[in-house]
Structure 1
Amino acid sequence: MVAEQNVLTVNIVTPDGLVYDHHASLVVVKTTTGDMGIMANHEPVVAPLVIGEVRVRRVDSPGHENMIAVNGGFMEMSNNVCSIVADSAERARDIDLTRAEAARKRAERRIEDAKSHRDQDELQRAQVALQRAINRIHVRKSGLGG
């Protein structure tokens, strides 16, 4: 079938199980070296991911992208299957915006406390927590249909 040649399967897995599994024409991930777009028949590749959104253009919903907040991990593309293994991942529709905003505020307070106490380890942890919260907020606001 000609149409099947332009389709890839995208699945996202966390330690809690499968978060996402759909057929797509395009997936865009944020790697340690920048954004990477993957389409069907892409050469095999493995790439480390950073905190950011994964955008998936599904074949069953042209013109619409699902957005998933991912907190690091890695992506492997092989045989028209794009597998993402992440510490955590949430679809835009599943993100509680109130909780994400509260997490952002907590992280900002932790950053200020760590700076005042000159605690570099806590500062780094708080900065990562802030990145995760901002990513979740961005994904929720950008991908409400996700």
Structure 2
Amino acid sequence: MSDNFLTVNVVTPNGIVYDHHAVIVVARTTEGELGILPNHVPIIAPLAIDEVRVKRTDSDSHVDWIAVNGGILEFRDNVLSIVADSAERERDIDVSRAERARQRAEKLIEEAKAHENIDELRRATVALHRAINRINVSKHS
């Protein structure tokens, strides 16, 4: 185990999305933004729908961006594991598909408001946040 980098793994039900060494990772938990450096204290935290930024060890300036749609972050022994409901690297995001998802979610929100359907409004709002997150992360590629 090296003391000057950490290993980052992002896993979804569909498999491994990301596996690299990094000097810092920044993620948004449900309590706020969290930066993880090598030798950080062990932590487990629930993730918000947001981007994860990874500064890799093989580049002084390159940052990998990953759209994460909820999940759990665990760090111990210089290994950061993210188990996410779904996740995509910026280079893998289909922007037109994400845009269509955003439009569908906005339509569902309007319909849910018109029918005063709180459950459907919550689901559509989450879908909208996921689509917007994917669109925002795709702009970093």
CA distance in 1, matches of 2:26, 2:14: 23
**Cα distance, 1:27 vs structure 2:** 0.3
Alignment correspondent of 1:101: 99
* Structure 1 ranges of 4+ moved more than 6 A: none
TM-score by length of 2: 0.98
**Cα distance, 1:52 vs structure 2:** 0.3
Q: How does 1:1-146 map to 2 (within 5 A)?
A: 4-141=2-139, 143-144=140-141
For residues 52-99 of structure 1, the C-alpha deviation after alignment (integer angstroms, 9 at most, x for no partner) is 000000010211110000010010000000000000000000001111
CA distance in 2, matches of 1:68, 1:38: 15
Q: Size of the alignment, in residue pairs?
A: 141
DSSP 3-state at the match of 1:5: coil
For residues 30-59 of structure 1, the C-alpha deviation after alignment (integer angstroms, 9 at most, x for no partner) is 101100000001110101101000000001
CA distance in 2, matches of 1:48, 1:34: 10
- Aligned residue type for 1:51: I
- The gaps in structure 1 that reach 5 residues or longer are none
TM-score by length of 1: 0.95
**Cα distance, 1:5 vs structure 2:** 1.8
DSSP 3-state at the match of 1:6: coil
- Aligned residue type for 1:8: L
- Aligned residue type for 1:64: H
DSSP 3-state at the match of 1:98: helix
Q: Percent of aligned pairs with the same residue?
A: 63
